[in-house]
Amino acid sequence: MRYYYQLQYKRIYRIFKDFGTEPFIGYPLIIVLFCWISSSFFDKVLYANYIYVMISIVFAYTLSNTEHARFLKQHFSAINYQKIIVYNNLLKVAPFVMFLIYKMCFIEALLACFLTFSISFANKKNKISITIPTPFGKRPPDFIVGFRKTFWLFLLIYGVAFVTVYKDNFNLGIFSLVSVFFVCSSYYLKPDPKFYIWVHAMNSREFLKHKILIAFRNSFVLALPILITLSIFYLDQWYITLFFLCMGFLYMMMYLLMKYSFQNQGMEMFQGIIGVLCLLFPPIMVIAIPYFYNKAINNLDQLLK
């Protein structure tokens, strides 16, 4: 078990190196960014302590890789396997717990630890044989894969849109609209295997245009029920709805461009940080989008010559 954690440390070290950052700079930078983002979150979000606990659990759960767990199960004894799973999950949730303690939210910190401990005994299954239907079959794969993984979130989001009308709270409607784009942006977190890019008979610019158009069209389809609701009940505030729709498109485009900027560099965490930064301060996108576009073109040129 000790060697396993030494290997994990080496892997993290190599991720920083691959990104071109010296780990002794990367580690403190990540810690500072995490504290800053968490702090902003607590300042700006209502009931932040509860949502923060939820985010920490989702983070620990989604980051646990089924294949990795299977590998551990095959090669470690049953007791050591369970220990590693518990330790790994507690390590993932530790920064959140420490921040909760710093914020004097002791009960929430305990709750996060308890829930993390509990989910460590849940079996995560990733191969469900039931094929979930999607409206995106003609244009695979991003939205097909993403929608099948997150369809339950749309039930919640549309539920919030319903509450918007019921409670007559326009802001909730905007929140649900933004949530659609936030979820859709997550479809662009994982880099494509080289083959899935190479196979396209397009140059880099055509490829990006093709991908962006699909992203816009499909996210619009998912946002449509909310847009219709807001158009019917809050027509007088159409310009606010339109503003957030455009921001949503921009936000998603940035994620898509980031994905191809860091193709095969495993930069999900970096994408996540920039994504949150842009949420907190959207004008960053004015610089970020052209920068990532050029970087993506350079990257794709290697495969789509």
Partner 1 sequence: MIYIKKLHKHYGNNKVLNDVNLAFSPGEIHGIVGENGAGKTTLFRAISGMENFKGTVKYTEGKIKDSIGFLPTNPYFLSKITGKEYLQLLCNARNIKISDFEEKNIFDLPLSQYAETYSTGMKKKLALTGVLLQKNDIFILDEPFNGVDIYSNIIINQVLTKLKELNKIVVLSSHIFSTLYETCDYLHYLKNGSIVKSVGKPQFEIIEKEMQSSGVGVKIDKLNL
Does position 205 bind partner 1 by CB under 8 A? no
Question: CB-wise, 198 or 281, nearer to partner 1?
Answer: 198
| Segment near partner 1 (CB under 8 A); pick from 82-90, 128-136, 153-161, 269-277 | 128-136
Q: Which H/E stretch holds residue 200?
A: none
Q: How many other C-beta atoms lie within 10 A of the C-beta of residue 290?
A: 11
CB of 217 to partner 1, least distance (A): 14
Amino acid present at 266:
G
Q: How far is the CB of 64 from partner 1 (least distance, A)?
A: 15
125 binds partner 1 (CB under 8 A): no
Cβ atoms of 171 and 155 within 8 Å: the answer is no
Stretch that binds partner 1, among 74-82, 114-122, 139-147, 242-250 (CB under 8 A): 139-147
Q: How many CB atoms lie within 10 A of CB 66?
A: 12
**Closer by beta carbon to partner 1, 168 or else 301:** 301
Which one of 73, 103, 139, 205 is in contact with partner 1 (CB under 8 A)?
139
Q: For the chain, what's the residue count?
A: 305
Q: Which is nearer to partner 1, 43 or 67 (CB)?
A: 67
Closest to partner 1 by CB, 113 or 144: 144
Which ranges in 47-192 belong to alpha helices (H)? 48-63, 66-75, 78-102, 106-119, 142-167, 170-185
From 30-38, 154-162, 199-207, 274-282, span contacting partner 1 (CB under 8 A): 199-207
Number of shown-chain residues binding partner 1 (CB under 8 A): 27
Contact flag: residue 140 with partner 1 (CB under 8 A)? yes
Residue 126 interacting with partner 1 (CB under 8 A): yes
Q: Which listed residue (84, 144, 208, 285) binds partner 1 by CB under 8 A? A: 144
For 157, other C-beta atoms within 10 Å of its C-beta total 23
Helix (H) or strand (E) holding 8: helix 2-18
Q: Is 196 in the site for partner 1 (CB under 8 A)?
A: yes
Q: Terminal CA-to-CA distance of the chain, rounded, Å?
A: 46
In this structure, how many other beta carbons lie within 10 angstroms of the beta carbon of residue 218?
Answer: 22
Out of 24, 152, 166, 195, name the contact with partner 1 by CB under 8 A.
195
Cα separation, 217 vs 222, whole angstroms? 9
Gyration radius from the chain CA atoms: 21
Cis peptide before 141 (omega within 30 of 0): yes
Are residues 301 and 204 in contact, defined by beta-carbon separation less than 8 angstroms? yes
Token reading at 67: 């294949």
Q: Which of 11, 129, 167, 171 binds partner 1 (CB under 8 A)?
A: 129
Q: Which is nearer to partner 1, 14 or 194 (CB)?
A: 194
Binding site for partner 1 (CB under 8 A): 126-129, 131-132, 137-141, 144-145, 148-149, 193-196, 198-201, 302-305
